[in-house]
Structure 1
Amino acid sequence: MLTIALEKISFHAFHGLFPEETIIGNEFILDISVRIPGTVPIDDLANTVNYQGIYEIAREIMAVPKPLLEEVVFQISDTLKLRYPAITHSAVTLRKMNPPMGASIRNSLVALEKDY
């Protein structure tokens, strides 16, 4: 298997249940990893997953506010598989930095792993 990943992508986005989250927004950190069959060397971008394409999917989805982070990670995972059918596994982890919970918490986290 060949793994292609982007780690610690930073976004300012407006996901959350509380009205102030959709106005003020928050900092989010996103990790995305995908696997494709990789038993022979690849010398053509058409035979792999372009990590620029991974970023574009993430950027587009992060730009649309959702009440739940679970919705975001599922949408990223599903869109990756649609755009890159060769993917056999994906892992998407989304961290909301300093969630508004009235306590000192570094981040909340939602992660989704899928085998196809």
Structure 2
Amino acid sequence: MLTIALEHMEIHAFHGYYPEEAVLGNWFIVDVAVSFEEHQPVTHLYETVNYQGLYTIVEKIMKIPKPLLEEVVQDMAQAMHEKYAMIRRVVVSLRKVNPPLGGQVRHSMVTLEKQY
């Protein structure tokens, strides 16, 4: 298996269950790793997963506000597999920086791992 990953993408977005999150937004950190079978030496971009394509998917989905982070990571994983059918495993982690919990919390995190 060959793995392509993007780590620590920082994006401001408006995901969250509480009304103030839809108004103020928050900073999020996204990590993505996708794996696929390597059947030959990879010498051309079309033989692999373009990480620019992964970034574009993350950026697009982060622009669509959702109340639950679980929905966001599910949408990302599905979109990645739809664009790159060769993917056999996706791991997406989404962290909300300083979530509004009434105490000092560095981040909340949701991680989805899917096998195809």
> Which range, TM-score by smaller chain?
over 0.9
Q: How many residues align?
A: 116
Q: How well do the aligned residues superpose, as a CA RMSD in angstroms?
A: 0.6
Q: d(CA) in 1 for partners of 2:2 and 2:39?
A: 8
Identity of aligned residues (%): 51
Amino acid aligned to 2:10: S
> In structure 2, what is the equivalent of residue 71 of structure 1?
71
Q: d(CA) in 1 for partners of 2:106 and 2:39?
A: 40
Q: d(CA) in 1 for partners of 2:65 and 2:36?
A: 30
Q: What's the TM-score, normalizing by structure 1?
A: 0.98
Amino acid aligned to 1:106: R
Q: d(CA) in 2 for partners of 1:14 and 1:35?
A: 29
Q: d(CA) in 1 for partners of 2:68 and 2:3?
A: 27
Amino acid aligned to 2:112: L
Match status 1:84 vs 2:84? yes
Q: d(CA) in 1 for partners of 2:14 and 2:51?
A: 24
1:76-115 superposed matches below 5 A: 76-115=76-115
Deviation string for 1:7-42 (max 9, x for gaps)?
000000000011110010000000000001124210
* Structure 2 stretches lacking a partner, 5+ long: none
1:53-68 superposed matches below 5 A: 53-68=53-68
Match status 1:43 vs 2:40? no
Moved over 2 A (4+): none
Q: What's the TM-score, normalizing by structure 2?
A: 0.98
Q: d(CA) in 2 for partners of 1:3 and 1:95?
A: 21
